[in-house]
Amino acid sequence: MEQPDLFPPDAGRVGTDESGKGDYFGPLVVAAFFLPEGQEEVLRELRVRDSKMTSDHRVRDLADILRRGYVHSVVAIGPEKYNELYERLRNLNRLLAWGHARAIENILLEKNVKLAVTDQFGDKAFVLNALMKKGRTIELIQKPRAEEDPAVAAASLLARAEFLKRLHFLSKEVGLELPKGSSPPAEAAAVELVKKQGPEALRRVAKVHFKMTARILAAAK
């Protein structure tokens, strides 16, 4: 028989979102944010919205405020670990589900929350199956454009801020500016990196399953 909660549920919901999924360089970061009931107006006043509609400078500022004031969790999968997991799973949605599930579970260590909202990136069962015992009782809602929900928007800001920080330090580590996205500047930087440090350097800083890896290796010869 399932044991009843020792404490009443915390009113509010968890929002989760990821950053770095479409960026060739840098980690995949998933964040979860607990929005207490009645706090939506506070986030609106702060102008919390999807990180894709927010400048990098503002992302960092808002993330700093959110980290100080709210329960949250950030799960970062660096490029080397990302490449290892992707080669094992061969499915980005399963990797995303693992990250979202871990971020939710971390919130549940502090809050007895019963609802989580996330963007629709694949079969909801992926996340539900990835949740451990404590998370199995949570109601999970996946929906398109979930970033319109302030809890998810806040999570997107936390995830992007962590992504930007880690990309900055990766750039320092390899001595080369690693651009965001997967555009021609990113491809050109990757070619330069391979020419200077060899093809194995890509695994340390990039998501090598992207199709552009083949073009990069060919151009760097």
Whole-number pLDDT of residue 10: 77
Whole-number pLDDT of residue 3: 44
Give me the sign of the Cα torsion angle 48, 164, 207, 99. Answer: negative
Pairing of strands 28-36, 12-19: antiparallel
Whole-number pLDDT of residue 7: 56
Whole-number pLDDT of residue 120: 82
For residue 52, the 8-state DSSP code is: G
Whole-number pLDDT of residue 8: 65
Token pair of 175, please? 């001595």
**Helices and strands (H, E) in the chain, number of each type:** 9, 5
Residue type, 45: E
The residues spanned by each domain of the chain are 12-171, 174-220
Whole-number pLDDT of residue 131: 87
CATH superfamily of 12-171: Ribonuclease H-like superfamily/Ribonuclease H (3.30.420.10)
Whole-number pLDDT of residue 4: 47
Distance CA 33, CA 55 (A): 20
pLDDT in tens, the chain (221 residues): 344 455 567 779 999 999 999 999 999 999 999 999 999 999 999 999 989 899 999 999 999 999 999 999 999 999 999 999 999 988 888 899 999 999 999 999 999 999 999 988 777 888 888 887 766 778 999 988 888 899 999 999 999 999 999 999 999 999 999 999 999 999 999 999 999 999 999 999 999 999 999 999 999 98
Token pair of 218, please? 């060919």
Give 48's contacts (C-beta < 8 A, 6+ positions apart).
62, 66, 150, 153, 154, 157
The pTM is what? 0.92
For residue 199, the 8-state DSSP code is: T
